[in-house]
Amino acid sequence: MRTLLVSSFAFTACSSQVSEPITPAPDVRTRLAAPTRMLVSQGTSSGSVTAKRQTQDGWQGGPVVLQLADGDFNATVNADGQLALADLRLDFAPIDVPDSVFNKPAQLQNVRLAFANAPAATAAKWSDADYATATPTIALDLSWSIAIAGSAMPLGTQHLPAMPVDVTVSGDGAHVAATLVAHASGAVWTWAGLVEFDDLTLVIDAATID
């Protein structure tokens, strides 16, 4: 009898430690009431910038494709339905610079964009509890190094001009997707009046891990 009682107690104790299944949030707005990590999709995210250098004949250069290597950010919706983004980190694969810029092979390395500061919550338009759009203004810091003819040199952190970004969130309570589209016209970064990067465009697709 004692053995039976001990066995019953052990079974009851083990049963009490079994976690209850997590119930998904009913919709996107509810899911984002708490900070939610969004992972950037490398395959569908993209970017571009124009690289130029000053010559005797004026500015010369060409477009440079930006390929995402990794990235994530937090998304939150407050009680008023405003959307806030935080802790953005975008890491890029090494970027080949057109030979016409330096007249020799060059590559941007260790390229990372991150929020210079946390953007304030921005009013969002909710068509329903599972779909919203917003246009916050963000300021980004750029850290990177440049390698010219095989010789690498770290560049100081660049504070990029603030830019509006079109944000879309969609999905359901179990899965949330987000798209960020940003464009900064004109000079993004200049170096001694000799080298310039213009017209930064970013299209970032991200989603929760379900």
- Can you read off the two tokens belonging to residue 82? 């405003």
Mean pLDDT along residues 90-97: 89
Instruction: Give CA 178 to chain center in angstroms.
Output: 10
Residue 210: burial class (beta carbons within 10 Å; 0-12, 13-18, 19+) = exposed
Least confident of 75-79, 93-97, 174-178: 93-97
Q: Which amino acid is at 51?
A: A
The whole-angstrom separation of Cα 131 and Cα 128 is: 6
The whole-angstrom separation of Cα 40 and Cα 6 is: 51
Token pair 């919706």 in the structure block, residue:
77
Pairing assessment for the beta strands 83-92 and 95-97 based on DSSP bridges: unpaired
List the one residue out of 117, 148, 144, 132 whose CA is nearest residue 28. 132
- The highest-confidence range among 59-68, 80-89, 107-116, by mean pLDDT, is 80-89
- Can you read off the two tokens belonging to residue 189? 């970064």
The whole-angstrom separation of Cα 171 and Cα 30 is: 12
Residue 98: burial class (beta carbons within 10 Å; 0-12, 13-18, 19+) = middle
Asked whether the whole model's pTM tops 0.75, one would answer: yes
**DSSP character string of 113-135:** EEESSPPPPB-EEEEETTEEEE-
Q: pLDDT tens digits for 158-181? A: 888 889 999 999 999 999 999 999
Q: How many C-beta neighbours within 10 Å does residue 36 have?
A: 18
Mean pLDDT along residues 51-71: 86
Question: Using 50, 70 and 90 to split pLDDT, how confident is the model at 68?
Answer: very high
Residue 192 has pLDDT above 80, yes or no: no
Domains and CATH numbers, the chain: 22-207 (2.40.160)
Residue 187 has pLDDT above 90, yes or no: no
